[in-house]
Amino acid sequence: MKNMAICNFIVSILGMMIGAAIMMAASEFPLEFTENGPGSGFWPFALGTALALVAVMLLVYSISNKKELSEQLVALTLPANKRVYVMMVIITIYCALISVLGFYPASALLIPATMKLMDFHDKKIIAMTTVGTIAFIYVIFTVLLHTRMPQSMFLE
């Protein structure tokens, strides 16, 4: 558990950094006014400036309401959150596997992995859900809509 005051502090620092990065990136484009209006960097530069200023406001707000915000807890390290982080790792691996194995074989691994992650271990239902979902996607997208799903890099 983290409290909202700490989270806000991190968010405001990140906001200032992103705002500054946008300003720097925008300053590489024309900022001055011509007969064609403001340069193409003007609007994003203004947005970056505004983002940085609002991030400063968040910081000031968080400092001035520190006591109140410290009582608001943000769940980030509970077992339930860890389950989400494991899911994120599974999804990242799945993204890599789509290119290596192809969409359908990778999906045949993702569905059981997700169900097992959710503490469900009935093999029969896992198999039925996997086959049913993949068959549904195949019929709708590959057969009816003619979508060419990603194939294994070894088959291309």
Partner 1 sequence: MADILTALNMIFVPINLLGLVFGVAVGIAFGCMPGLSVNMGLALLFPLAFSFQGIGGILMLLGIYCGAIYGGSISAILLKTPGTPASVATTLDGYPMATKLKQPGRALGLSTMASTFGGVFSTICLILLAPQLAKVALQFSKPEYFALAIFGLSIITSVSSGSVIKGIMGGLFGLFLATVGIDDMSGSIRFTLDTTYFLGGVSFIPVLIGVFAFAQVLSSIEDYYHTEKTDPIKFVDKVLPSWADFKRVFATLIRSSAIGTFIGCVPGTGGDIASFVSYDQAKRWSKNSANFGNGEPEGVAAPEAGNNAVSGGAFIPVLTLGIPGDGATAIMMGALMVQGLQPGPLLFVEKAPDVYAIFIGLLLANVIMGIMGFSLIRLFAKVVNVPVHILLPIIVMMTFVGTYSYNNSINDVYLMVASGFVGYFLNKLGFSMSAIIIGIILGSMAEQNFVGSLIMSDGNFNIFFTRPICLFFLVAAALSLLSPVLGKLFKKA
Q: Which residues bind partner 1 (CB under 8 A)?
A: 4, 7-8, 11, 15, 18, 22, 25-26, 29-30, 33, 35-41, 43-44, 47-48, 50-51, 54-55, 57-58, 61, 74-76, 79-81, 83-84, 87-88, 91-92, 95, 98-99, 103, 107, 110-111, 114-115, 117-120, 125, 129, 133, 137, 141, 145, 147-150
Which two tokens mark 86? 């494991």
Least distance in Å: CB of 139 to partner 1? Answer: 12
Tell me if 72 sits within 8 A of 3, measured CB to CB: yes
Nearest to 96 by CA among 84, 109, 81: 109
Q: How far is the CB of 101 from partner 1 (least distance, A)?
A: 13
Identify the helix (H) or strand (E) that includes residue 103: helix 103-117
Residue with tokens 């007969």: 35
H helices then E strands: how many in the chain?
6, 4
Asked if 76 and 66 touch (Cβ cutoff 8 Å), the reply is no
Task: Find the shortest distance in angstroms from Cβ 44 to partner 1.
Answer: 5
The DSSP bridge partners found for residue 2 are: 74
Using alpha carbons only, give the angle 19, 22, 27 rounded to the nearest 5 degrees: 125
Distance (Å, rounded) from C-alpha 96 to C-alpha 104? 13
Minimum CB separation of residue 39 from partner 1 in Å reads 7
**Smallest distance from the beta carbon of 46 to partner 1, in angstroms?**
9
